[in-house]
Each structure stands twice: as structure tokens, then as C-alpha cells.
Amino acid sequence: QQQVKQSPQSLIVQKGGISIINCAYENTAFDYFPWYQQFPGKGPALLIAIRPDVSEKKEGRFTISFNKSAKQFSLHIMDSQPGDSATYFCAATKYSGGGADGLTFGKGTHLIIQP
């Protein structure tokens, strides 16, 4: 049972373009949705996160859009740069539980930004 579905599996974007990665979740108990970024040879690191009380959160060039009724959320990378080339994972957990049960991850998106 895949509780967080992520697409696309891979994505190629030209430098300066907008990268968009989508996720959908099934468990309505989830109320915290982070995105993690992973570079080769490194563990994933938190990029940005959102709770369902807002529909959008922006940090620099990175924006999460959240649609509670559709149970979907997406990551937008504006003005994509070669340094953004990495694997991106969406995730979900129960914020009220402090995330103590762990994060449920999507399968990941391998993003390549072409110069």
C-alpha cells in the first residue's frame, strides 16, 4: 500500500525554468508534509515543509502548494539552477504525534537541470 504517490519519477528542466513535482496522499490523518532534497552520496535533508492550515508556503525559489480537498501537494522550483539537480522526496506524517512514527516517503523524483 503506497500511501504517498509521487510523480514524475524523473524530470529534465532547462536552466531558468520551473520544476514541478507532484504528490498525492491517502491517509487523512497526515497533517505535515515536508520535502527532502538528496544529493549523490548524501542523506536526504529537509528543504521545505507545510501544514494543511495554509495552501501555499514559499521559501526563496521553492514553493509548496497544498490542496487539502484533493489530498495533493506539489513542489515548485522557480528559476531552476544546475545546483538544484538532485533527488527530491515528498513525505507525510502526523504532526500531532510529533512525527514520532516516522515519515512516509514518496518514491522520489530525479531532477536534472540542464545548463
Partner 1 sequence: DVKVTQSSRYLVKRTGEKVFLECVQDMDHENMFWYRQDPGLGLRLIYFSYDVKMKEKGDIPEGYSVSREKKERFSLILESASTNQTSMYLCASWDSLNTEAFFGQGTRLTVV
Q: How far is the CB of 85 from partner 1 (least distance, A)?
A: 17
Q: Does 44 bind partner 1 (CB under 8 A)?
A: yes
45 binds partner 1 (CB under 8 A): yes
Q: Which stretch binds partner 1 (CB under 8 A): 20-28, 59-67, 73-81, 94-102?
A: 94-102
Q: In the 8-state DSSP scheme, what is residue 96?
A: G
Q: Which is nearer to partner 1, 70 or 100 (CB)?
A: 100
State the amino acid at position 17 in one-letter form.
Answer: G
Q: How far apart are CA 69 and CA 29, in angstroms?
A: 13
Report the alpha-carbon distance of residue 89 to residue 61 in Å, rounded: 17
**Residue of 11, 49, 52, 72 that binds partner 1 (CB under 8 A):** 49
Neighbouring-strand partners of residue 24 = 5, 72
Does 95 participate in binding partner 1 (rule CB under 8 A)?
yes
- The yes or no reply on residue 98 touching partner 1 (CB under 8 A) is yes
Quote the least distance from Cβ 73 to partner 1, whole Å: 16
CA separation for the pair 80, 16 (Å, rounded): 5
Specify burial of residue 53 (Cβ count, 10 A radius: 0-12, 13-18, 19+).
Answer: exposed
> Which chain residues interact with partner 1 by CB under 8 A?
6, 9, 32, 34, 36, 41-46, 49, 89, 95, 98-108
